[in-house]
Amino acid sequence: MVVLCLNCGSSSAKYQVYDWENKDVLAVGVVERIGLEYSTIEHKASGKEEYNAQFKCPTHKEAIELIINMLVDKDYGVIKDVSEVGAVGHRVLHGGELFKKSTLVTDEVVEQLKTVIPLGPLHMPANIMGIEAARKVMPNVPHAIVMDTAWHQTMPPEAYMYAVPYEWYTKYNVRRYGFHGTSHLYCAKRAALLLGKENKDTNVIICHIGNGASVCAVKNGVCVETSMGLTPLEGLVMGSRSGDLDPAILPYIMNNTGMSAKEMDTTLNKKSGLVGICGHADRRDVEKAANEGDEKSKLAMAMECHRIKKYIGAYAALLGRVDAVVFTAGVGEMGPTIRKGAICDMEAFGMKLDVEKNRICKCRNGEFEISTDDSPVKIFVIPTDEELVITEDAVALMNGTYDVHTNFHYSFEDASYVNKARAKGLVKDLEKKPELKAILALPKR
């Protein structure tokens, strides 16, 4: 049996195919430009040549049909027949307060998801289109939804409520929901394993730093605070999102420029953050420009690091005891400059960064410890694996064994767990950079 993991955006559909019996990734890919004049597909199957082509995909239905055709293709495919797909897991941005854990898809569930669209108008319509399209293409296969917000449902009211009129919560569901939950779940449980502690005894701060970015405070194995809010706009300085700002700025600028609410929303989500400061969203471009003397790029990097550090310090205060700080996602895994700027000079909090370990740590195929040997708080770099969480939730739901994460055991919580694709990649990485071996973090329970 294979499990298909789907992550549908407004004009894209990312996918991964997982061999459940052999516990291995068979293929990954993405269809982009859905609904435009032509669409493109990038398909990478294990042991086969990468495939790139253009097709007509006016809707997500055609895009998912294209994905299925690629999976069974005689030259580039990984299965013989679509009947080998035993379950489909869908990543969904927002569950509101309706969905506190992953669930199987029914017609009723789809209708309930539609009521959450106002809380995630940029992402939810595409998520739902992907679910509906996949169910049409594969009507006899169990489909499961895994919400980015579900992990954060353990936050107490003092953390998730905003100090605004209470009826905004009761009438319009205004509260902090948090996002990147699937990533935070994976990293929290891997960090506990690396620390040699049980989840219920573990306090960690997780920094998911990518184009979108968030910080999560985990106390006794569950989320108690996170930086994103009603939407993924709040919190850190991101690639194109502003993060925290004085709300009075919005009416001030709108009154001075005549900008509409929709234009303001677009500006804060797509034209702010690093792009707004220096014109670049990709941290590699920002760092390159900064190294070449561009003052705005230097400022953008300093602002991002300052904001991350501020959240780490605040969450350390909330937790009282911190066992580890974790960096994950694209920048968190591959950005030593941002990591250094975010956590240097934090010795007062027990966080001692080893500058040399941090410098050499640029690898997505292993877990690494970049703190000094005598650091009271460990600093880890853990490559996230949201697709594996989605896959395991989908299979458990299909088998009737699923439960909330505090009552559920994932394969990656075992010391014996091995990500086969990453293990192969790590061998090659160590051949190129043997110094990485000295900073590998290994399970302690």
H helices within 72-156, ranges in order? 107-114, 124-137
Angle between helices 124-137 and 60-71 in degrees, nearest 10: 50
- Largest Cα separation within the chain, whole Å, is 61
Distance, in Å, from the CA atom of 208 to the CA atom of 325, rounded to the nearest integer, reads: 11
Task: Check if 148 is active-site.
Answer: yes
Running DSSP on this structure, what letter comes out for residue 405? G
Q: What are 437's two structure tokens?
A: 């071996």
Choice among 19, 148, 385, 393 that is catalytic: 148
Strand ranges in 222-346 using DSSP code E only, listed in sequence order: 222-226, 324-328
CA distance 25 to 396: 18
* Encoded tokens for 206: 């997780």
CA distance 291 to 293: 5
CA angle (437 as vertex; 436, 438 as ends), nearest 5: 90
Beta bridge partners of 333: none
Burial 331-354 (b: 16+ CB within 10 A, else e): bbbbbbbbbbbbbeebeebbbbbb
Q: How far apart are CA 324 and CA 347, in angstroms?
A: 13
Q: Which residues are catalytically annotated? A: 148
